[in-house]
């Protein structure tokens, strides 16, 4: 019992010297000389935070609409406020593969080398994704929308200058404009501020530009 008690005291004495498992930078310190340190309790806080800043990860919550465009090995660019005009590159490391019900987004991780220590952990960045053409839908003015019994529609003009009403799906509302996720194509001629009396098949005349 005495040997066990001595071993316990000796082990606690060894904790007076803390050795990090890797080389890094102390980014936070929660104790000072003379502070009481408690361990093994729910209120315990880490004494120090050590960060290895040579390799960083960028965490991005991607909206569900664009989750299908996240592919293995994809590369994104991003910028940070402390380096205006400089563009950084990161490659996909992992994806959660599931949509968070609370936010409707998919959490993805991008990794990059930071050997020059230009970036700091915890910073915020503006990330740009290489989405294919049409991924954001087709942006049309909100004034072109028509609220009908069939749903949300827009009035288009065909090759013979006749009206053709098309039902559309709103992917994102930007206020003065909306992104249409389906129902029309980029080649469609859309009528802005259509009259309420406009009906499918009506003949119209294109005004001079």
> What is 69-123 written as a DSSP string?
G--TT-EEEEE-TTSTT--EEEEEEEE--S-BTTTTEEEEEEEEE-TT--S-TT-
The pLDDT assigned to 93 comes to 95
Checking DSSP bridges between strand 48-51 and strand 177-182, what pairing results, if any? unpaired
Does residue 107 register a pLDDT over 70? yes
Does residue 134 register a pLDDT over 70? no
- CA–CA separation, 186 and 205 (whole Å): 21
Does residue 72 register a pLDDT over 70? yes
- CA–CA separation, 90 and 156 (whole Å): 42
Does residue 39 register a pLDDT over 80? no
Does residue 86 register a pLDDT over 90? yes
Q: Structure pTM?
A: 0.62
Q: How far apart are the first and last CA of the chain?
A: 98
Which of the residue ranges 66-70, 72-76, 93-97, 102-106 would you say has the lowest mean pLDDT?
Answer: 66-70
C-alpha 35 chain-centroid distance: 41
Contact of 152 with 195, CB cutoff 8 Å: no
- CA–CA separation, 70 and 60 (whole Å): 11
- Which string of b and e fits 75-114 if b means at least 16 CB within 10 Å? ebebeeeeeeeeebebebeebeeeeeeeeebbbbebebeb
Residue partners of 32: CB distance under 8 A and separation at least 6: none
- pLDDT tens digits, residue range 142-194? 999 998 888 899 999 999 999 999 999 888 888 898 888 888 888 899 999 99
Q: How confident is the model at residue 68 (pLDDT cuts 50, 70, 90)?
A: confident
- CA–CA separation, 118 and 51 (whole Å): 14
Q: How confident is the model at residue 22 (pLDDT cuts 50, 70, 90)?
A: confident
Widest CA span in the chain: 102
Token pair 């290895």 is found at 52
The pLDDT assigned to 133 comes to 67
């Amino acid at each position: 019992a005495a040997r066990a008690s001595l071993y316990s005291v000796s082990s606690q004495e060894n904790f007076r010297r803390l050795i990090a498992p890797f080389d890094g930078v102390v980014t936070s310190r929660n104790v000072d000389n003379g502070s009481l340190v408690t361990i093994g309790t729910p209120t315990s806080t880490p004494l120090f935070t050590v960060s290895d800043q040579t390799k960083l990860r960028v965490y991005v919550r991607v909206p569900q609409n664009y989750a299908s465009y996240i592919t293995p090995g994809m590369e994104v660019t991003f910028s940070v406020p402390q380096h205006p005009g400089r563009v950084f590159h990161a490659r996909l490391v992992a994806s959660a593969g599931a949509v968070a019900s609370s936010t409707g987004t998919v959490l993805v991780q991008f990794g990059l080398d930071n050997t020059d220590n230009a970036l700091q952990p915890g910073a915020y960045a503006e990330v740009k994704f290489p989405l294919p053409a049409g991924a954001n839908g087709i942006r049309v003015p909100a004034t072109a929308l028509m609220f009908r019994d069939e749903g949300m529609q827009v009035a288009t003009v065909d090759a013979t200058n006749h009206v053709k009403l098309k039902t559309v799906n709103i992917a994102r509302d930007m206020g003065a404009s909306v992104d249409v996720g389906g129902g029309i194509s980029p080649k469609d001629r859309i009528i802005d501020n259509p009259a309420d009396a406009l009906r499918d098949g009506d003949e119209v005349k294109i005004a001079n530009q």
